[in-house]
Amino acid sequence: MSSSSKDRSASDELHRAQENAVVEMLDVPAVADELAARFAARGHLLYLVGGSVRDALLKRPSGDLDFTTDARPEAILDIVSGWADATWDTGIAFGTVGARRGDHMLEITTFRADTYDGASRNPEVRFGDDVLGDLVRRDFTVNAMAVELAGDERRFVDPHGGLAALAHGVLDTPDAPERSFSDDPLRMLRAARFVSQLGFTPSDRVVAAMTAMAGELDRITAERVQAEFSKLVLGEQPRRALELMVETGLAEKVVPEVPAMRLEVDEHMQHKDVYTHSLVVLEQAIDLEYDGPDLVLRLAALLHDIGKPATRRKEPDGRVSFHHHEVVGAKMTRKRLRALKYPKSVIEDVSQLVYLHLRFHGYGKGEWTDSAVRRYVTDAGKLLDRLHKLVRSDCTTRNRRRAAALQRSYDGLENRIADLRKQEELDAIRPDLDGNQIMELLGVGPGPVVGTAYKHLLALRMEQGPLGPERAEAELRAWAAENGV
């Protein structure tokens, strides 16, 4: 045997050993082997593929299992019928059959060899005949690995170096990135999402393609963009992902208000522009989460200062001001989140946090009255805990003495809130008399008078605390007399 033949043989042996080691590493659920046996009995191949393989190698929990097969969709339905607890065929036109077996959700897709028209996301669906053709059309090499399931024998399939990319944390495409992103522009935003979720670093050619093709994201529906962006924001490293979006121009297509904050100097943080400050606030807000990732808090942290560019003014003394940027920012936040098709509850909560984030700075050294504290709590409502976190995160000054003073001041406000809570029903402040009592005492029926009286009593309650029924009745009658009721 020649030297070159020996080298090739040794290389092949090493490669097989590596593949065997990979297969041994994988914790494939028993349900996958059961399914593979059913496909084999019908003469079909079945592969565990994509994110299921990636997450198994990373030892990340994954509730869903993805498979690919040479069986056509109708055959897939027939094979899982009677075995799966439930099936659905909403994606059957694209070759995908969904199934549930116990606690496992399964997606089984026929090998694909689609072509795209380059103008929309909709492919011309064509089924393929082998797994290699299927893998090359996938988004990233780390998702282009498969494991052939056939009884006790398993074979690792990695034609594009996904395992090496996974080991080095590199995000690259099986095909040329320009072709991959042209097929589905959402893959560019997905690249940023994987930076946030998995800590990957995109290859130079992927970053170059994202930069050149950012405008293609306009082809994607707002709902799909929002879903990817939310996953990105909820990842472990959203700052890195957002910086990538800004660097490549993707942010201009998703959240243009974020890159617009660059170079806008914050009046309190002369060493940081507003963009950098907002990313730091986001990181600090994440550090305060204690019950898992909070989309509302994170969006509010990212967007809390987006009103600054529009309100930036240079004062006569040379200082820069951003008067009422919280009001403008709340409106801008509402508009952007609506454009991204977020649920109404998310839009309202994030916008309200942006609107309220400066309220604390009127607290000064603790000279707020009890009524001011009541209003702070009432205006925040169910968002109070998030507002606490946002306000604390908004302190990014390098001046340790000033930072400590701000934190002490906020500690003082929280203590005031706690003390008032012990004395009053602070989380549900209402007038001492309800609408029915107001109507009975004034001898009136439902109408504007009742609402106006209610607001008057509520204002007194906010200013003076609980009045008690007798004093509330006296105040109501005095108000009625003054207003001719």
More confident: 267 or 145: 145
pLDDT per residue as tens digits for the range 398-415: 777 877 877 887 787 888
HEC string of 317-380 equals CCCEECCCHHHHHHHHHHHHHHHCCCCHHHHHHHHHHHHHCCHHHHCCCCCCCHHHHHHHHHHH
Domain end, chosen from 122, 151, 168, is at: 168
Using the Cα atoms of residue 70, residue 76, residue 82 and residue 84 in order, give the sign of their dihedral: positive
Closest to 229 in 3D by CA, of 207, 251, 258 = 251
Give yes or no for a contact between 158 and 136, defined as CB atoms under 8 angstroms apart. Answer: no
Q: Report the range of poorest mean pLDDT among 189-198, 252-261, 420-429.
A: 420-429
pLDDT per residue as tens digits for the range 431-443: 777 778 888 888 8
User: Which phi and psi angles does 150 have, rounded to 5°?
Assistant: -150, 90
Q: What is the pLDDT of residue 289?
A: 92
Residue 270 is assigned to a structural domain of this protein: no
Q: What is the pLDDT of residue 271?
A: 40
More confident: 446 or 108: 108
How many other C-beta atoms can be found within 10 angstroms of the C-beta atom of residue 19? Answer: 17
pLDDT per residue as tens digits for the range 341-380: 999 999 999 999 999 998 887 666 667 777 788 888 888 8
Q: What is the pLDDT of residue 141?
A: 96
Percent pLDDT > 70 in the chain is: 87
- The mean pLDDT value of the chain amounts to 85
Does 244 share its domain with 367? no
Element (H, E) at 226: helix 222-233
Give yes or no for a contact between 322 and 278, defined as CB atoms under 8 angstroms apart. Answer: no
d(CA 169, CA 184): 22
Does 222 share its domain with 313? no
Percent pLDDT > 90 in the chain is: 49
How many other C-beta atoms can be found within 10 angstroms of the C-beta atom of residue 267? Answer: 14
- Banded model confidence at residue 428, pLDDT cuts 50, 70, 90: low
How large is the C-alpha radius of gyration of the chain?
A: 30
Q: What is the pTM of this model?
A: 0.80
Q: What is the pLDDT of residue 222?
A: 96
Does 24 share its domain with 84? yes
Domain end, chosen from 427, 444, 466, is at: 427
Does 225 share its domain with 302? no
Does 198 share its domain with 302? no
Does 93 share its domain with 162? yes
Q: Going by C-beta distance under 8 Å and a sequence separation of 6 or more, which residues neighbour residue 149?
A: 28, 32, 33, 35, 36, 46, 47, 48
User: Which phi and psi angles does 184 have, rounded to 5°?
Assistant: -150, 95
Does 315 share its domain with 382? yes
What does the pLDDT average to over 406-435? 73
Does 303 share its domain with 394? yes
Q: Looking at mean pLDDT, say which of 7-16, 76-85, 124-133, 235-244 comes out highest.
A: 235-244
Q: Domain span at residue 112? A: 3-168
The position carrying tokens 């009890």 is: 370
What does the pLDDT average to over 22-31? 75
Does 419 share its domain with 304? yes
Residue 338 is assigned to a structural domain of this protein: yes
Inform me whether the pLDDT recorded for 420 exceeds 60: yes
Does 111 share its domain with 239? no
Inform me whether the pLDDT recorded for 242 exceeds 90: yes
- Banded model confidence at residue 261, pLDDT cuts 50, 70, 90: very high
Q: Give the CATH number of the domain where residue 204 resides.
A: 1.10.110.30
Inform me whether the pLDDT recorded for 26 exceeds 80: no
User: 346-384 burial, b for 16+ CB within 10 Å, e for fewer?
Assistant: bbebbbbbbbbbbbbeebeeeebebebbbbbbbebeebb
Does 232 share its domain with 350? no
Does 14 share its domain with 127? yes
Domain end, chosen from 226, 254, 282, is at: 254
Element (H, E) at 4: helix 3-25
Residue 109 is assigned to a structural domain of this protein: yes
Residue 224 is assigned to a structural domain of this protein: yes
Inform me whether the pLDDT recorded for 270 exceeds 80: no
Inform me whether the pLDDT recorded for 139 exceeds 90: yes
Q: Report the range of poorest mean pLDDT among 74-78, 119-123, 287-291, 457-461.
A: 119-123
Inform me whether the pLDDT recorded for 189 exceeds 90: yes
d(CA 258, CA 304): 10
- Banded model confidence at residue 269, pLDDT cuts 50, 70, 90: very low
